[in-house]
Copies of this chain bind each other. A is one copy, B any other.
């Protein structure tokens, strides 16, 4: 950590903002300078808790403040682009709640602007900093072999959103995890879903993600389920993972199970399956996971990236990749599941 500190402002003090405030206040190398929200009365309790911090409802004040080098944006999604773009144009590093923007075009413009100005642009894909997701990425690299499928279920009762469908609200988590864990990018997406509240966005949806190889991914999201489920299956040729985020401790289970292919047997009727496909069962193993709070790790990485000019793991392009899928899925939804191709995201801006 260098001696200098990065001055930070948090913009948007609703559901998630307080977590950013609390964590930035504890992040080495960062100094919480200001908190901004249009509903200024919300900020009152911060006065006694964080006496030196500026509290304002004026975003321009934040932009003009030379003590602030980085801005974290935790407003409703529709405001992300405008605020983030203004911040970049004012020369600030930016950390944006997920999804990074309301459209791929917006996300692309943020990526380009940050690249042009050599500013750090990060998106808050919090889950990728959890011990469970970090372990999955490691396992995919080292133990799973060829990737076969990625299947996630994220359902519960509530909280219905009014401005975005369940895809933008829940599947965004799965897409950001997948983006981090899988070594491949999808080439097309299809989605189906319905709304059970007249005039409102879809509250249940199913996404298929297609890849160039025989990997398939699928996401089931639902705001109207009687039980809460957070479960992902990842199948590989060597082993398979069950990730259950509701398990208090063994969130990741690795199964040394699978099939073995026995060459090219003669096709002689009923015996063929046993001849061709064999089944392998072995131990199950639940590795110990890092239990450091994900958001703290993430903000520390963000500050470190600003200091060193390196790229955060969830950079603007990661945010763009996820939004591109959300946008295409939304198109497919309107076409009752017809696949929509995904343009690749350029690796270098």
Contact = CB atoms under 8 A, between A and B. Distances in A.
A25 to B, nearest CB: 14
A338 B335 CA distance: 9
B276 A200 contact: yes
A10 to B, nearest CB: 18
Interface stretch (A92-100, A114-122, A154-162): A154-162
Contacts of A162: 267, 272-273, 276
Contacts of A190: 190, 192, 336-337
A127 interface: no
* A interface, size bucket: 35 or more
A235 to B, nearest CB: 6
A49 B48 CA distance: 7
A59 interface: no
A248 B224 contact: no
Interface in A302-342: 336-339
A259 B200 CA distance: 13
A214 B14 CA distance: 33
27 contacts: A49-B49, A148-B224, A157-B259, A157-B281, A159-B273, A160-B259, A160-B276, A162-B267, A162-B272, A188-B336, A190-B190, A190-B336, A196-B237, A197-B277, A200-B277, A206-B208, A220-B220, A222-B235, A224-B235, A225-B235, A226-B241, A249-B284, A250-B284, A283-B287, A284-B285, A284-B286, A338-B338
- Per CB-CB distance, the 6 closest pairs between chain A and chain B, nearest first, are A226-B255, A226-B240, A284-B286, A48-B48, A160-B277, A162-B272
